[in-house]
A = this chain, B = another copy of it.
Amino acid sequence: MSDQRITPVPAHETPYYAVVFTSVRTEEDDDGYRHAAERLGELVKDIPGFLGEDSARTPGGLAISVAYFRDLAGIDRWRRDARHRAAKEYGREHWYERYSIHVARVEHSHGHARS
| A positions within 8 Å CB-CB of B | 6-11, 17-18, 20, 22-24, 26, 54-59, 61-64, 66, 68, 92-93, 96-114
Residues of B within 8 A of A20 (CB): 18, 20, 66
Q: Are A98 and B59 interface neighbours, CB within 8 A?
A: no
Residues of B within 8 A of A111 (CB): 98-101
Partner of A100, one of B10, B23, B57, B105: B10
Partner of A103, one of B8, B63, B99, B107: B107
Residues of B within 8 A of A22 (CB): 8-9, 54, 56, 66
Residues of B within 8 A of A56 (CB): 22, 56-58, 61-64
The 3 A-B pairs of least Cβ separation, nearest first, read: A104-B104, A8-B22, A98-B113
Alpha-carbon gap, A109 to B9, bound state (A): 22
